[in-house]
Structure formats: structure tokens, C-alpha cells
Structure 1
């Protein structure tokens, strides 16, 4: 088998980019690279000396200058033959361009360290052979993600044309996502808007946190209380204008309303065991976007997963006034 060689991407710094951090500059030009490159991935390439500035190795925080030549040696993806396997998910809609599904909790979207089998991607390959190859063998068809323990609606691209269209819509914030969550706390009002940057936690690098604008990415979350229950629990509708890692979980925790059952950002509450809460009570309910083939606006809904429906059924006897 021929092993693909790494390839070189060259970018000349324009005057408008003068003074930007090197890692930030590369992240801003991620569209020039094949695959789904994040700022963290570029930072890793810089550390590994795969990025040269005018033939010199620089650090992530180096400030680029006008007319400098940035050369990035992009390693070829490690060949990985994913073996299709049956993985549970609910099919919502499918045609030649897209597949819409409802992901159950406990399922990782794509293979990564510690989760090399049993992912949603394995299940998609078992269900159909036609998926977009833009994200490589590890993430075929994947244009957005849900956390392992978040349930709900997702759209998958079945060809490259659909992938480009959907990726563009998520990037330009024209695709709309609505979530529902059981929150734990006392709200300051019935609804609100959170505009706080999100970045890596300064101490625990596996977590995200609300950080200063200069250290994170802008993130906007809108929330509205739908129902209040005893034990300071409430059911809320949540809309996100950006798609940052762990955004809803981090933002809601930052205002004292963490997602119930969230083992990373949440609280400990003895009532969780009584209610059968075993994971973060967060569900992606509705997804709207323009269909890649017809350009018509479409909306798909995922019903609540059985575990969350069961929690709400138990809580229905403790409804309080808003």
C-alpha cells in the first residue's frame, strides 16, 4: 500500500494580518487546508516544527509580519481502515445528499484516543457506504458533533457537495440549533443571553472555561426557562449562535445554572439518583438549515431520549410557577 506523503501549504502574510499570533493566523486560514483543522491542531504542528516563517521555526505566540512566507508541512493522515459495525441511532431522514439522525447518549461521534470502535461513524458506515470523504477516513460525513453524553439531532453529509454546503452554513451561523436542558439552580430571571468567550481551562486543559476575550473564542448562548420544578431544577430551551466546545455546559454553569448530571461542570445533587439521572441532561432537539441540493429551508426534530423523558415524567408532579 502506498503511504501518502505530507504536503506543503504556503501562505503569504497580508497587511491586514500583520501582528497576529502565528497559531491564530493559521486557524484563520484553515479553509486552505484539506480536512477539519482547529487552532489546537495548528499549535501542535508549530510545536513539532512543521511550520516555518521565512524558513525559521517560530513559537505559537510569534507575531507574523506583512509579506512573510508561512510554510506548513501537513502530515498525511495515518491510514485507518474503519470496520463498519452496528451502532444504535435513530434515522430521522435520508436522501442522496444528507442523513439526519438522532444520536443516543453514550455514543461518541467519531474515533479518537480511547474510543476506537463503537462510534457513530462506525454505525454510519454499517448503515450506508456513501459518505463525504472531506474529513478523511476517521470522520467521514461529519460536519458537526455532539458530546458523548448529549443526545439529539445531527446531520451527516453523504457527498462532498453536501459537506461543503453544510460546513459553510455552520461556519456562517445560518444553521440553527435548539437544545433543551434540565438545569440545576435558581435563575435570575425567566430568560437571558450569555456573551462570554470560551477557551481552555487555565489549569485543567481537558476542560473549557469562560475566559477573557484575548484568550478564547466569542460564544453566544440564549436561554429561556420553560418549566420550574422543586429542588431548584428547571427545564429550559437553549439556542446557540456559535458552536464552541462544551458551550452550553460551560455558559450555563458560569451563571450558576449548570446542566443537571454534568459530571464535569455541574453540581452534586442527591436528588439525581432518585430521578434516575445518570448523564448530563442535555438534548439537541431541533436543527434547521438549507438543503444542499434544493436550497430549501428544512427543519428536523429529534424526540427526547427515553432517559430524559423518564426524568421529566417523574418531575411533572413537582411543577412550580415561573
Structure 2
């Protein structure tokens, strides 16, 4: 029976584990992608559709720890299967060249299609904006994550990197693997952390009682992910604080779970307990004030503020920064006014 027609080519990437022993690349890729025959992999190496760190190698090449293998393979459209549709959704593009894009994602926008969010996502918008189907994907991902090198949560705002080619995707993925991409977030949390600057190092995994949540595991198992977050208090405002956070790892919900684990959940983070009054007084006037702040910022107060990386083609170190979005800034200003008034009252008393 003939194969269905090729719909487009997709690129998968494999980052080789730091402990990987030397092994022939054709054997290594066959073991990682068992649905692709070894003969096809050897042909791909000859044709240059399988690259190591962007360079062509022979089938007997021995892989090394930390290398990134990119594999371009044909994507067939099974009968009845629908791929991500292109949608004319406005994008806030902060930088673009022929190789990559830096996009500012607003809070409320889902990054890629998933059950319950089949359209209206950033990837739907990218499909339309770029006007083509051959947008690369990382290893193990499909058309629904085209172009994405990393992700941020639906209700988190901020900057995202998008790759336009397999080679650029490979190089950026390696930078993430090597921790040479710098990402800085700003957040508003409940309370004033003590110490005001510190590093949180704790393993994360899914909460067995609620699969929509993650939690810290004191006795981690192999399935739990090592996670490191560095935080610094930029401004203490009595019952909330403005924080700057730098990720050393990029785990799902990492900042949100780490801050909850030390007793300072992010403001209005419904999933991790920040959508109630965690710190403050019992007076009704304060309660009304806090509830008004919930209305001003109706999502977790987390913003991917800046990103810095080395351009995969030019070698230039590039950095981009974004201001706090209006909802977080307005709410922060209200807390500043509240803190100023409280300090004046404390001085008088």
C-alpha cells in the first residue's frame, strides 16, 4: 500500500546526555527513534538531513555528550488528521530577522494547541504570520509546537524565542541545555521573603492528588526534576513584594511552585494558593483593598521580563527587555501607595 503524500518536513532534535558513552550516530539515532529504519537514518546522514551541531557527519561518527543532533524527516498526513491551522492573530514582535523572532506574549494567550485549546494560540498565529508549514520542532514534539524553543504559562506574560529553521532551533536548544541563555522574570509575591535574596533548589514533580499541579519533593525519585531558582527582592511593600527571579533550570511552573514552597505564593496564583489574602490585617478596609487588587490583576503576577542569548548565525550576544504589563504595573502602584500610607501612619504612631 503506497504511503500518503508528504505534507511537509519536520525537524526533531536530540540533545545528547552528559553521561552518554561514545556510540555510532546511526545506532544512537535508531535507538532513540525506533520508528525510523537504520537504512533511512544512514541515507539521511549521506544527504545531510541529519546534522550534529549543525554539521554533516558520517554514519560511523561517535556521538559526544552535549552535542545536539537535528533530524529532518518527512511528515505524512494520515487520513482525517488535521494539523495546526493558521490564524490571523496579532503578534507583538519585538525583534525579527531571517533566522529567529523575539515575541512578547500577553497574559491569557496559550502558547501552543492542547486539549481544550485547539486554536487561538501563539503557534496558530505563527503559522499565519510566517506563511509556511516547514517551521521546525524540537525532538518529541509535533506540529502543535512549531518554532517554539521554550514556553511560558498561559497566564504569564513576557518574552519568547521562536526559531525559523532547524539549524537555529538546534543551536538555541543547545544554549538552553548549556544554561547560556539568561532569562529574568519579575513577579509580585505575598509577603516579604526572608532572606530578601536567596537560591531555591528543590526537585519538582506532579502532585499525585491533582495532576494539574506540581509540588516540591523532599525525597525525590528519578522522575522528579531538579530545579534551581534565584530570587532577589527589588521592593518590599509590607504584605507583598516585587521580586526579580532568574531561572537556572526551566521546569513547568517552576517559579510558581518554588515561591509557594517557601511560603510566598505569587499574587493571585489560583493554582498555588495566591488567590486569597495570604498576608495582611484582619480589617475590612484592607480586605476590600486586596480584593480590588485581585480585580486589577486577574492572573498570577508573573512576567518574563528579559532574555539574552547568542545569535546562532551571527554569534552576536543579544538581549531584550520588556516593561511590566499594565495589569501588574497598576496593581503594583496601588500597593506602593498603600505601603507609603502605612509607613506614614506607623511614623505618626
Q: Name the TM-score, length of structure 2 as normaliser.
A: 0.68
Give, in angstroms, the shift of residue 33 of structure 1: 4.3
Q: d(CA) in 1 for partners of 2:330 and 2:30?
A: 43
Deviations 1:283-320 (A, max 9, x none): 00000111111122111112222211211222231346
Aligned position for 1:150? 156
Aligned position for 1:297? 317
Structure 2: unaligned runs, 5 residues or longer: 7-18, 21-28, 35-74, 278-286, 344-349
Aligned position for 1:238? 245
Give, in angstroms, the shift of residue 171 of structure 1: 1.6
Partner of residue 182 from structure 1, selected from 188, 203, 216: 188
Q: d(CA) in 1 for partners of 2:97 and 2:334?
A: 38
Change (3 A) 1:31 1:213: farther
Alignment of 1:70-219 (within 5 A): 79-130=81-132, 132-135=135-138, 136-211=142-217, 212-215=219-222, 216-219=224-227
Contact 1:102 1:154 in 2 (8 A): yes
Q: d(CA) in 2 for partners of 1:105 and 1:85?
A: 19
* SS at structure 2 position matched to 1:208: strand
Change (3 A) 1:77 1:138: farther
Q: d(CA) in 1 for partners of 2:339 and 2:92?
A: 30
Aligned position for 1:53? none
Deviations 1:257-276 (A, max 9, x none): 11101010123124443121
Contact 2:4 2:76 in 1 (8 A): no
* SS at structure 2 position matched to 1:193: strand
Change (3 A) 1:237 1:256: same
Give, in angstroms, the shift of residue 76 of structure 1: 7.9
Change (3 A) 1:132 1:213: same
Aligned residues: 260
Q: d(CA) in 2 for partners of 1:77 and 1:2?
A: 7
Q: d(CA) in 1 for partners of 2:30 and 2:174?
A: 13
* Pair 1:311 & 2:331 matched: yes
Shifted more, 254-263 versus 78-87: the winner is: 78-87
- Specify the structure having the higher radius of gyration (Cα): 2
Q: d(CA) in 2 for partners of 1:174 and 1:87?
A: 32
* SS at structure 1 position matched to 2:256: helix
Q: d(CA) in 2 for partners of 1:147 and 1:31?
A: 32
Give, in angstroms, the shift of residue 145 of structure 1: 0.2
Change (3 A) 1:152 1:208: same
Q: Name the TM-score, length of structure 1 as normaliser.
A: 0.74
Change (3 A) 1:115 1:201: same
* SS at structure 1 position matched to 2:221: helix
Q: d(CA) in 2 for partners of 1:283 and 1:272?
A: 20
Q: d(CA) in 1 for partners of 2:236 and 2:202?
A: 25
Give, in angstroms, the shift of residue 30 of structure 1: 12
Shifted more, 289-298 versus 310-319: the winner is: 310-319
Aligned position for 2:67? none
